Every structure is written in structure tokens, then in C-alpha cells.
């Protein structure tokens, strides 16, 4: 079984995925794959330098993700260019991981699951959701100002639509323990 975890920015996808991992699921974090494998690939780094200029790189040659994010979240064409560069690599990494352990069960964090029409990859889709106020508070606690947080949120499908399209919804306005309990109950139901 392969679960796709989606939801709004700052709603708690990674926390929910970690709780699924605690319930025995193998975990793939798409954002972490991008950070650790895609944006460190020399060919990707070279393409970023050529496209955006050396200003998106740190002095050591690594990608400055904050500067890159600043560039792509204010310009849709740049965001699309970056997605076209990185997403095929991410999908190849998924195929490699999922193919190496077909038994699973797997949980895969995919922020843009519906936006990129990836539903067919998954047996079930779980949306992690919270109130807009909670979402904004979490993003601001990560250092994003409200304007930039709003820009990033606006680039995703509205959370209400993700909820409608998902098989299951985990509501994450409460404590981490409340979210953990929801995950445990869902994992138990799916195992039956």
C-alpha cells in the first residue's frame, strides 16, 4: 500500500508522515529528496547557475534555497521552469525507492500531489489540514513573513479543494498527540 500525504503549506504533512513511519510505514519526503539529492546533483546545480546566475549559489557552490525560493515564488514562469527541472528527478527517486521495497507499506509526502496530477501513484490520499490562522502562525514561526507565506500558499491548490479530493483528512489544529492519535487510528483501519 502506498499513501500519498498532501495538504497545505505548514499544515503538518511532515509530522503526520513521521507518525505513519512510527506505525510501520516506510517514508519518502519529497521536499527532503529535493534538498538532499536533487539540489546537490552537479547537473542540477549547473543548470540553476546557468539559468538564474551565480547569485542563487552559496560561496561553497551549494544552492541557496532561500534565494532560489524568493526567485521562483514571485515569478510563475521561473517556478514552472524549476519544477520541470526537478520533478522528473524526484519521480525517478520515488520509482527507485518504491521498486526496491514493493511490500511497503509506504507513505510519500507530496505537497503538489493534486497540482501535478499524481493521484495514480497512490492507493489512498491523505490530506493534512488546519485552519488558516494556524497555518499562518506555523509559517511565521518558521521565519516566513505573512506576505511571503501568502505568496507560497497562493501557488498551491486551495486547501478546501485538496480536502474534497482526498480519501482521508487529518485535522491538525490541536496538539501533536491529537494528530498522532488520528494517524494511529487511520493506520490501524488501513491495515485491516
Domain coordinates in residue numbering, the chain? 1-25+104-192, 32-102
What is the topology classification, in CATH, of domain 1-25+104-192? Rossmann fold (3.40.50)
pLDDT one-digit tens code per residue, 1-44: 999 999 988 899 999 999 999 999 999 999 999 999 999 999 99
**CA distance linking residue 34 with residue 162, whole number of Å:** 22
Q: Which of these, 13, 9, 10, lies nearest to 126 by C-alpha position?
A: 13
As a whole number, mean pLDDT of residues 151-169 equals: 88
Confidence (pLDDT) at 9: 84
As a whole number, mean pLDDT of residues 58-62 equals: 94
What does pTM read for this prediction? 0.86
pLDDT one-digit tens code per residue, 80-96: 999 999 999 999 999 99
Amino acid at each position: 500500500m502506498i499513501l500519498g500525504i498532501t495538504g497545505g503549506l505548514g499544515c503538518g504533512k511532515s509530522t503526520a508522515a513521521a507518525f505513519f513511519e512510527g506505525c510501520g510505514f516506510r517514508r519518502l519526503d519529497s521536499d527532503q529528496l529535493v534538498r538532499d539529492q536533487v539540489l546537490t546533483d552537479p547537473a542540477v546545480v549547473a543548470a540553476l547557475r546557468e539559468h538564474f546566475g551565480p547569485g542563487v549559489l552559496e560561496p561553497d557552490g551549494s544552492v541557496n534555497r532561500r534565494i532560489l525560493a524568493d526567485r521562483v515564488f514571485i515569478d510563475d514562469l521561473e517556478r514552472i521552469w524549476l519544477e520541470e527541472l526537478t520533478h522528473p528527478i524526484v519521480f525517478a527517486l520515488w520509482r527507485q525507492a518504491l521498486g526496491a521495497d514493493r511490500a511497503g507499506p509506504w507513505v510519500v509526502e507530496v505537497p503538489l500531489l493534486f497540482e501535478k496530477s499524481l493521484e495514480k501513484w497512490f492507493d489512498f490520499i491523505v490530506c493534512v489540514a488546519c485552519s488558516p490562522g494556524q497555518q499562518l502562525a506555523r509559517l511565521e514561526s518558521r521565519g516566513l513573513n505573512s506576505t511571503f507565506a501568502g505568496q507560497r500558499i497562493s501557488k498551491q491548490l486551495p486547501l478546501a479543494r485538496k480536502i474534497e479530493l482526498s480519501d482521508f483528512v487529518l485535522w491538525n489544529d490541536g496538539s501533536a498527540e491529537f494528530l498522532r492519535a488520528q494517524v494511529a487510528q487511520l493506520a490501524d483501519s488501513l491495515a485491516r
